[in-house]
Amino acid sequence: MEPLTGRPLAERIAGQSQWYHSMELLPGVVTPGWFDTRPLVAALPFPASLEGKRCLDVGTFDGFWAFEMERRGAAEVVAVDVLDPKAWDWPVASTPDSVAAIGERKAEGEGFELAKAALGSAVTRHEVSVYDLDPGDLGAFDFVYIGSLLLHLQNPVRGLERVRAVCRGTLLAVDAIDPTLSRIFRRRPVAHLDARGRPWWWKPNVAGLRRMVEAAGFTVLEAPRRVRIKRGAGRTAPPLTPRTLRHRAGREALASHWLGDAHAAVLARPT
Ligand SMILES: C[S@@+](CC[C@H](N)C(=O)[O-])C[C@H]1O[C@@H](n2cnc3c(N)ncnc32)[C@H](O)[C@@H]1O
């Protein structure tokens, strides 16, 4: 990554073509994110104030949620991420092209560094996998946010168990759910397994996401909320062709683009 003392920040931000999060980093300059999570904040049980709290954002990408915690008065915000997509959980049949495409968007985590500099933020980012979270290394946290990451884990419950190991307060887990399974099975926890060449593993129904959190040793504090995450300006619409409509993945991509990506939010505390 080019040192931040080089080209002017505004030029660097404008030059970064791929962003995950839509964030206003300079007056009137909003990054063209893959998702726009800004309207989501109000729909979540996200604490209005985090005054004096130690907070953790797991799988931060460009850092939107970590910066939001800081904006709400957190005493300290730590973010963790795995910057090299090769180290993510990939199904065996994945191709080098898929890994490279995600690597391009990730850009070695440069978006986070640019956003941190533009916002004058004190958030610290550590390269630590969720599976390796350890209170001996990072300490314990009063509030932990984990968003759109369980979907990418081969073992989401193991990941949540490690989150529990560093959580001494509240967890907010917001992750992808399968809307069809959520409609059919309202109480029974079930999940769709993808694992076809891309780092998409388990998409549970809402009851399944809740059960994953409980199975990892948390007590759920309120009924999970269904939310949809809106697309950002960095995304183009999937083609509306008979082929797209024929396949489940194609239909899901269309729904995600036009309606928002189906997620549920689970608020919990360690049992
Ligand atoms: C889909 S993005 C979600 C970004 C952000 N958490 C949000 O909710 O908007 C998934 C993030 O998880 C990170 N990631 C992937 N595998 C991880 C792992 N094993 N441990 C921690 N982070 C991981 C990726 O690098 C990426 O930043």
Q: pLDDT, tens digit, for every residue of 61-109?
A: 999 999 999 999 999 999 999 999 999 999 998 988 888 888 877 778 8
Length of the chain: 271
Question: Tokens 């970064």 sit at which residue?
Answer: 16
* Residue 260: pLDDT over 90: yes
Whether the pLDDT of residue 7 is over 80: the answer is no
Ligand 1 contact via 199 beta carbon (within 6 Å) = no
Q: Would you say residue 150 has pLDDT above 80?
A: yes
The model's confidence at residue 236, banded by pLDDT at 50, 70 and 90, is: confident
pLDDT for position 88:
94
Write down the pLDDT at residue 19: 94
Distance between CA 126 and CA 80 in Å, rounded?
Answer: 5
- Give distance in angstroms: CA of 64 to centre of ligand 1: 12
Query: Beta strand 76-81 with 261-270: parallel, antiparallel or unpaired?
Result: unpaired
Atom 9, ligand 1: residue with shortest CA distance: 147
- The token pair at 168 is 């001494």
pLDDT at position 2 over 70: no
The percent of residues above 90 in pLDDT, for the chain, comes to 75
Tokens representing 232?
């950002």
Among protein residues, the one whose CA lies closest to atom 8 of ligand 1: 147
Q: What is the pLDDT of residue 152?
A: 97
Contact assessment for residue 23 and residue 44, using Cβ atoms and an 8 Å cutoff = no
Please give, one letter per residue, the 3-state secondary structure of the chain.
CCCCCCCCHHHHHHHCCCEEECCEEECCEECCEEEECHHHHHHCCCCCCCCCCEEEEECCCCCHHHHHHHHCCCCEEEEEECCCHHHCCCCCCCCHHHHHHHHHHHHHHHHHHHHHHHHCCCCEEEECCHHHCCHHHHCCEEEEEEECCHHHCCCHHHHHHHHHHHEEEEEEEEEECCHHHHHHCCCCCCEEECCCCCCCCEEECHHHHHHHHHHCCEEECCCCEEEEEEECCCCCCCCCCHHHHHCHHHHHHHHHHHHCEEEEEEEEEEC
Is the C-beta atom of 22 inside 6 A of ligand 1? no
pLDDT at residue 76, as a whole number: 98
Supply the residue whose CA is at minimum distance from atom 11 of ligand 1: 59
Q: How far is the CA of 172 from the centre of ligand 1 (A)?
A: 15
Tokens of 91: 């199904």
- CA 242 to ligand 1 center in whole angstroms: 32
Q: Report pTM.
A: 0.95
Question: Closest residue (by CA) to atom 6 of ligand 1?
Answer: 147
Mean pLDDT value of segment 157-161: 98
| Under 8 Å between Cβ of 51 and 77 | no
